[in-house]
Amino acid sequence: MNYRKALIAGVIGAAVMSIIMAMARAMGMPVNLEMMLGTMMGGPPSAMTWLMGLIIHLIAGGVFALIYAAGFEYLTRRADWRVGLGFGVIHTLFSGLLLAMMPGMHPLVPEMMPAPGAFMANLGMMGVAAFFMLHLIYGAIVGAMYGPVVHQSLGTTVDATRVKAS
């Protein structure tokens, strides 16, 4: 498994998600995952807690990409944007259900910060659509950047497209 490639792909995928969420906020959609993550320790919303949340999000992106990479290596034995997209569906389902539990996990929800609801449903259909889109984009980025899976086995190199003797 290529840990370095997976971590880089995950951090970039998470960064792209954060950029898209910033654009959504600029258009009036109140989606602020970074602030939600940064205030998990109980501190009030601020620029510093937002920055902490961004760092947490980028680290989580790297960790999730390691899970994707294990799936690429040991389950599908291949990786590209389409396979990553498939893993993104699973990731979306897991994360969406986790958001439903936010009021029980986050000390400021719902008193100071609004609960996002499962799959960001409390933001309406646009919230749900954005949630799915963000995670699918993340999965496609991780799959595309991780690239072909290559296994060394008994003198042969096996990747998703061909087998050749070494």
Three-state DSSP state, 158: strand
The pLDDT of residue 150 is 77
Q: Determine the Cα–Cα distance for residues 68 and 91; give it in Å rounded to an integer.
A: 9
Residues spanned by the domain of 133? 3-165
Please report which helix (H) or strand (E) contains residue 165, including its range.
strand 163-165
- Is 105 exposed, middle or buried, given 0-12, 13-18 or 19+ CB atoms closer than 10 A? exposed
Assigned token pair, 133: 């889109």
What's the mean pLDDT in 105-127? 90
32-89, pLDDT tens digit by residue? Answer: 999 999 999 888 999 999 999 999 999 999 999 999 999 999 999 999 999 999 999 9
Three-state DSSP state, 155: coil
Beginning with the edge strand found earlier in the chain, give each strand of the sheet holding 163-165 in spatial order.
Answer: 151-153, 156-158, 163-165
Assigned token pair, 116: 């996002």
The pLDDT of residue 152 is 63
Is residue 125's pLDDT more than 80? yes
Is the Cβ–Cβ distance between 51 and 123 less than 8 Å? no
List residues bridging with 153 in a β-sheet.
Answer: 156
Assigned token pair, 8: 């880089």
Number of domains in the chain: 1
